[in-house]
Amino acid sequence: MKQTLISSFTLLYLISVFSTQAQEKKAFELFSQVGEPITYRSVLDSISQTDVVLFGEFHNNPISHWLQFELVSDLKKDSINLILGAEMFETDTQKALDLYLRDSLAESEFRKKARVWTNYATDYKPIVDFAKSTSTPFIATNIPRPYATKVYKNGGFSALDSLSKVEYELMPPLPIPFDMSLSSYQNMLDMMGGHGGEDLVKAQAIKDATMAHFILKNLQPNQVFFHLNGSYHSNDFEGIYWYLKTYNPDVNILTISTVEQNELNSLGEEHHNKANFIIVVDEDMTKTY
């Protein structure tokens, strides 16, 4: 009997240990730009005090997409006057997006006309449908791909000189400001090894400028514009951020970046100052594609 009791207590102890370890297994952590742990609520409260949020995601990271949805949902619960926008929708698809949000276009037609990304169903449909169900405006902010391709393949910004008036409405006023010395652009140039890299950087810049232009064009007073974009478009307070500040120095911007690490208890030094808030995701996290 005594042996049975000892075995039972041992088993309960082991179950307790394993249960505690399982409870401590986290998928992500949140940090400030200087590497201090922060709470979800503090991120939410900071967003409510700003004009523009640039949420830098990894396109195939489910934690990025889940947190986007949770933040947007909770901001609405807090009665924040919200407008959404995304890199994933190009400016010539705004009409299709508007019709879908007003329930005037079938989803199948919307997907074709909006040229949705292949991961739309898992990663962006939830937040688009949330906008639809809550009558939240959603802005297509990215330049149509053919124009960015022109910049890359046909000699830089001058490739856009002969467009029509209608086409110019799909992008920011030209010529756009451009600073090749920005570290993010220099990194792109270095990766290309100097072979055609400058025009690739300009193609990136026209995307960044277009997104910034349409964010500011649609932002209203006492409103928070929550924008989804790849992290590279806003990391290190460059890209879209730089263009927003260049076009309107008074706009208040908060940036969020996603990084992956093999341990979540601290933020790697290389990620410090990447954004106002950094989401550290376990590098073993599953991908959506």
Position 7 pLDDT exceeds 80: no
Domain 37-282 coded CATH 3.40.50.300:
no
What Cα–Cα distance (Å) separates residue 74 from each residue in 29, 41, 62, 80, 242? 18, 10, 18, 9, 28
Encoding tokens for residue 221?
């007073």
CA-wise closest residue to 271 among 41, 30, 52: 30
> What are the tens digits of pLDDT across the range 80-132?
999 999 999 999 999 999 999 999 999 999 999 999 999 999 999 999 999 99
> What are the tens digits of pLDDT across the range 156-213?
999 999 999 999 999 999 999 999 999 999 999 998 876 668 999 999 999 999 999 9
The pLDDT value recorded for residue 9 is: 44
Look-up of token digits 């276009």: 105
Q: What is the average pLDDT value for the chain, to the nearest integer?
A: 93
Q: Which residues contact 7 (CB under 8 A, 6 or more apart)?
A: none
The pLDDT value recorded for residue 269 is: 97
Is there a contact between 226 and 82 (Cβ–Cβ < 8 Å)?
yes
Position 1 pLDDT exceeds 60: no
The pLDDT value recorded for residue 194 is: 62
> What are the tens digits of pLDDT across the range 239-269?
999 999 999 999 999 999 999 999 999 999 9
Instruction: Answer whether 0.85 is exceeded by the pTM.
Output: yes
C-alpha dihedral sign at 120, 125, 115, 173: negative
The pLDDT value recorded for residue 20 is: 44
Is there a contact between 30 and 44 (Cβ–Cβ < 8 Å)?
no
Beta strand 28-32 pairing with 277-282: antiparallel
Distance of CA 89 to the CA centre of its chain: 12
Is there a contact between 285 and 62 (Cβ–Cβ < 8 Å)?
yes
CA-wise closest residue to 130 among 69, 86, 87, 221: 69
